[in-house]
Homo-oligomer: A and B are copies of this chain.
Amino acid sequence: MGKKVRTAIEPTRVENYPLWYQQVVKSADLAENSEVRGCMVIKPWGYTIWENIQRNLDAMFKETGHVNAYFPLFIPKSYFEKEAEHVEGFAKECAVVTHTRLEDDGKGGLKPAGKLTEELVVRPTSETIIGASFSKWVNSYRDLPLLINQWANVVRWELRTRMFLRTTEFLWQEGHTVHATETEAMDETYKMLDVYAEFAETYLALPVLKGQKSESEKFPGAVSTYSIEAMMQDRKALQAGTSHFLGQNFAKASNIKFQNAEGTEEYAWTTSWGVSTRLIGALIMAHSDDNGLVLPPRIAPAHIVIVPIIRQEEQRAAVMEYVEKLAAELRAIWYYEKKLVVEVDSRDIAGGEKVWQWIKKGVPIRLEIGPRDMENNSVFMGRRDMAPNEKKGVDVNEFVQEAKKLLDDIQTNIYQKALQFRQEHSHIIDDKAEFYRFFTPKNEENPEIHGGFVRSHWCSSAECEEKIKDDLKVTIRNIPFGEAAENGHCIYCGKDSEKRVIFAKAY
């Protein structure tokens, strides 16, 4: 390898991937850890990405007939105990409220007081508390389908946390629906998985694989779970969204019954589905480079930043006037049902420093304008999906006219890069020894980056799945949709298998 190029993020991805991730989050000013174990503070630049995710997903939910509502943060312990697998899955990591006030402890401090007769769990997910309402709302087949979504915070007392990817408290949406028949509930489960896939690909520029989770990886209490899986730049998988077919399990636990058209009472069929602030982690790890965050335009808090280059104080007024006029022109342009967001960075620091800050923040287009550019009616334009030094002078009017197209180009380019990366690191493996070699780090520079997505045969037994997990930390990401049936032999035990599944290491 040649001379080392200086990068804005240190270490680079190859040098230390986990630390690179932390540095990207920090240098883009997305979030920081708080002193509350595992809880992060989402800073304005990070939160605006979440607002953009919310706004666009919410519109897709509403287009598919869903409405929003809000249910209590606290779940009585007894609700939790109603569904055996569910409680098994969540009781081990939940925040428990036991008292309702603090009082003087006689030593200058405070101690908990007002003990509750029944403890409350801070929701890790809301199937049981929402089920309690649904059992009142649903009486007749005329009340169905019931299509509800909630935007909320949830808490899971995770052992190991990592900003955006796994935090004690996180923000998410959880859809909860009730249907008269199994078929309708299944249709809804698939439909919302499609919505997630479309959202990930269109807005986040994130290619995803849709499929069904294995029995051991499904949601606690569900009949079946479906996921979208994306590949990060360390070739690990990240589960970016899940949709659960709950059968009648939660309807029975929460007593959600309805009278059908014939007058007979039946248990209803329910679904639930969710995505979270984890999507921001996916966005970061899929697209960012060694200079920091790279944002797809359709989710970026700002589309364009203009950096005035002022070397002499007497030029300031004229340059700023020119820049503000250009910004106003750009801000009048509609870009997918929203107007372009244009930042003008007029801070009193060096132009180069500003430019690098915006590179690290991932803004899709940077414009630098100094007195000479002004005279020539041109701007110096840099795209975040290209190298920082690949800047070029362009005519201002042309730029204004082409801005939307340019942003679409960037969006497509980011998507294509991620798709190509996934293709390069996706393999079909039929030999057990090769499979094991593939998922074992070699003498590379960084053992964190290896492996990829592997399509192999699997006999459907939980034992083989577990052995592979124990040996390699590799899991079945999902059983992908649309694979042709094919006879083969389980990659682990060699028994007959009718389908390939996707194996990968994962977040």
Which A residues between 43 and 94 are near B, CB-CB below 8 angstroms? 43-44, 47-48, 50-51, 67-77, 80-81, 87, 91-94
Q: Which of A33-41, A234-242, A459-467 has 4 or more CB atoms under 8 Å from chain B? A: A33-41
A16 within 8 A of B: no
Beta-carbon contact of B96 and A99 below 8 Å = yes
For residues 128 through 146 of chain A, which have their beta carbon under 8 Å from a beta carbon of chain B? 129, 132-133, 136, 142
Chain B nearest Cβ from A343, distance in angstroms? 12
Residues of the B chain whose Cβ atoms lie less than 8 Å from the Cβ of A32? 133, 136
Asked if A307 is at the interface (CB within 8 A of a chain B CB), the reply is no
* Bound-state Cα–Cα, A122 to B77, Å: 17
- Determine if A102 and B112 form an interchain contact, defined as CB atoms under 8 angstroms apart: no
A91 touching B102, Cβ below 8 Å: yes
Please indicate the chain B residues that have their CB under 8 angstroms from the CB of A157 in the complex. 100-101, 114
B contact residues around A101 at 8 Å (CB): 91-94, 96, 157
- A165 adjacent to chain B (CB < 8 Å): no
Known: A92-B101, A101-B96. A34 touches B67 (CB 8 A): no
**Distance (Å) between the CB of A158 and the closest chain B CB?**
10
Q: Does A396 lie at the interface of the complex (its beta carbon under 8 Å from any beta carbon of B)? A: no
Which residues of chain B are within 8 angstroms of A39 by Cβ–Cβ distance?
A: 72-74
Closest beta carbon of chain B to A380's beta carbon, Å: 26
Cβ of A119 within 8 Å of any chain B Cβ, yes or no, is: yes
Residue in B36, B48, B87, B153 whose beta carbon sits within 8 Å of that of A153 in the complex: B153
A243 to B302, CA, bound (A): 30
- Decide yes or no whether A229 CB sits under 8 A from chain B: no
Beyond A67-B48, A101-B92, A101-B93, whether A72 also contacts B110 by CB under 8 A is no
User: A406 at the A/B interface (Cβ < 8 Å)?
Assistant: no
- Given A92-B101, A171-B70 in contact, is the A77-B44 Cβ separation under 8 Å? no
Given A72-B36, A72-B39, A73-B153, answer yes or no on A96-B98 (Cβ-Cβ < 8 Å): yes
Q: Are A48 and B68 in contact (CB under 8 A)?
A: yes
Indicate whether A385 reaches chain B with its CB closer than 8 angstroms.
Answer: no
Contacting residues, chain B, for A127 (C-beta < 8 A): none
Chain B minimum-CB-distance residue to A114: B157
Cβ-defined contact, A74 with B95, below 8 A? yes
Contact with B along A164-203 (1 / 0, CB 8 A): 0000010100000000000000000000000000000000
Min distance, Cβ A342 to any Cβ of chain B, angstroms: 14
Given contacts A72-B169, A112-B119, A133-B34, contact A94 B98 (CB under 8 A): no
Q: Is residue A454 within 8 Å, beta carbon to beta carbon, of the partner chain?
A: no
Contact across chains for A35 and B132 when beta carbons are under 8 A apart: yes
Q: Tell yes or no: A120 within 8 A of B by CB.
A: yes
Instruction: Tell me the smallest distance from the CB of A460 to a CB of chain B, in Å.
Output: 31
Contacts of A109 in B (CB 8 A): 77, 81
A148 at the interface (CB under 8 A from B): yes
B73 in contact with A102 (CB, 8 Å)? no
Contact status B114-A74, CB under 8 Å: no
> A121 at interface (Cβ–Cβ under 8 A)?
yes
For residue A470, CB closer than 8 A to chain B, the reply is no
Q: Which chain B positions have C-beta within 8 A of A136?
A: 32
What is the minimal beta-carbon distance from A192 to any residue of chain B, in angstroms?
18
Q: How far is the CB of A77 from chain B (nearest CB, A)?
A: 6
Q: Which residue of B lies closest to A39 (CB)?
A: B72
A71 with B41, Cβ < 8 A, contacts A97-B97, A98-B98, A101-B96 known: yes
Chain B CB within 8 A of A367 CB: no
* Cα–Cα, bound, A114→B41 (Å): 24
Residues of B within 8 A of A100 (CB): 93-96, 157
By beta carbon, the residue of chain B nearest A154 is B73
Which residue of the partner chain, among B44, B72, B171, contacts A67 with CB atoms under 8 Å? Answer: B44
Q: Is the CB of B121 within 8 A of A122?
A: no
Q: Are B120 and A36 in contact (CB under 8 A)?
A: yes
Say if the beta carbon of A155 comes within 8 Å of chain B.
yes
A-B interface, 7 closest residue pairs, ranked by CB to CB distance from nearest: A39-B72, A44-B67, A96-B99, A42-B70, A91-B102, A100-B157, A96-B112
Q: Could you pull out 15 A-B pairs where Cβ atoms are within 8 angstroms?
A: A36-B72, A36-B76, A36-B120, A36-B129, A39-B73, A41-B70, A44-B69, A44-B148, A48-B67, A73-B155, A74-B95, A74-B169, A97-B122, A114-B157, A122-B122
Residues in chain A within 8 A of chain B (CB atoms)? 32, 34-36, 39-44, 47-48, 50-51, 67-77, 80-81, 87, 91-103, 109-110, 112, 114, 119-122, 129, 132-133, 136, 142, 148, 152-153, 155, 157, 169, 171, 347
